[in-house]
């Protein structure tokens, strides 16, 4: 479910006819000003629990935010995707910069037991590291086996 603002403003004798999509995550309980992605007309809206309480009313002020997506259904497939500066706002569900990069290599579980999913897997692991039920850690990766023995000696491995 998402609410829309269908802009019908006339510009140079032609209607704008842009559908601006207001995603419920950002506009659930919201009051403010939103711009049209095509003609940049600013509309005041007040939404309560995802329903339009007041608006859209055209105002001559600066917008607070932009729609996430907009299209022109009467003109084929013309649209404005998320992240176009001045027209739509960026998609907020993308990972933040602190989460981008390479995955951490995990050799041991939270209880200190060795796991089979670390990288890089030895060539003897076969396709996609598939050892099946035969997984001899001592033979396949002696360095992890030694580290596991040291954890056992220090008492860092638990059953529960």
Q: What is the pLDDT of residues 36-48, one digit of tens each?
A: 999 999 999 999 9
- Comparing 61-65, 69-73, 74-78, 127-131, the range with the smallest average pLDDT is 127-131
My answer on whether 111 and 73 are in the same domain is: no
Query: Span 144-157, mean pLDDT?
Result: 88
For residue 120, CA distances in Å to 116, 128, 136, 139, 142 come to 11, 11, 16, 16, 14
Nearest Cα to Cα of residue 148 among 119, 113, 116, 123 = 113
13 or 159: whose pLDDT is higher? 13
Lookup result for tokens 């990288």? 119
- Same-domain pairing of 119 and 139: yes
- Asked if residue 119 and residue 77 are part of one domain, the reply reads no
Q: Which residue has the higher pLDDT, 55 or 141?
A: 55
In this structure, the answer to whether residues 74 and 115 fall within a common structural domain is: no
My answer on whether 87 and 116 are in the same domain is: no
Could you tell me the residue range of the domain that residue 42 belongs to?
Answer: 3-94
Residues 90 and 107 placed together within one structural domain of the fold: no
pLDDT band for position 7 (50/70/90)? very high
Preceding omega of 66 cis (within 30 degrees of 0)? no
Considering only 21-35, 54-68, 86-100, 120-134, which range has the smallest mean pLDDT? 120-134
What domain count does the chain have?
2
Q: Which pLDDT does position 128 carry in this prediction?
A: 58
Are both 88 and 112 inside the same structural domain? no
Domain stop point among 70, 94, 118: 94
Residue that finishes a domain, picked among 75, 94, 113: 94
Is residue 86 domain-shared with residue 131, that is, in the same domain? Answer: no
| Ranges 10-19, 65-74, 103-112, 148-157: which has the least confidence | 103-112
- One domain for residues 89 and 156: no
Q: What is the longest distance spanned by two Cα atoms in the chain?
A: 83
Are 88 and 121 members of one domain? Answer: no
Beta strands, E only, the chain: 3-7, 10-11, 14-15, 18-22, 30-35, 42-48, 51-59, 69-71, 79-80
Q: What is the mean pLDDT of residues 58-73?
A: 92
- Do 11 and 86 fall into the same domain? yes
Where is the domain boundary, 37, 72, 94? 94
Query: What is the DSSP secondary-structure string of 79-104?
Result: EE-TT-TTTSPPPTTSPPGGG-SPPP
Statement to judge: residues 67 and 109 lie in one domain: no
d(CA 87, CA 70): 9
For CA atoms 96, 101, 102, 104, the dihedral sign is negative
State the residue for tokens 């910069």. 97
Q: How many residues does the chain have?
A: 160
Summarize pLDDT for 78-114 with one digit per residue, the tens. Answer: 888 888 888 888 876 655 556 666 656 677 878 888 8
């Amino acid at each position: 479910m998402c609410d829309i603002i269908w802009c019908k403003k006339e510009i140079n004798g032609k209607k704008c006819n842009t559908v601006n999509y207001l995603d419920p995550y950002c506009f659930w309980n919201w009051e403010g000003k939103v711009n049209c992605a095509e003609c940049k007309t600013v509309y005041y809206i007040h939404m309560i629990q995802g329903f339009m309480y007041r608006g859209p009313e055209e105002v001559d002020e600066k917008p607070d935010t932009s729609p996430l997506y907009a299209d022109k259904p009467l003109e084929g497939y013309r649209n404005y995707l998320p992240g176009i500066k001045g027209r739509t706002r960026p998609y907020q569900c993308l990972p933040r910069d602190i989460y981008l990069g390479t995955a951490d290599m995990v050799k041991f579980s939270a209880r200190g037991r060795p796991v089979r999913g670390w990288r890089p897997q030895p060539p003897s692991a076969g396709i996609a590291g598939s050892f099946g039920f035969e997984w001899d850690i001592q033979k396949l990766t002696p360095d992890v086996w030694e580290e596991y023995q040291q954890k056992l000696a220090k008492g860092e491995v638990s059953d529960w």
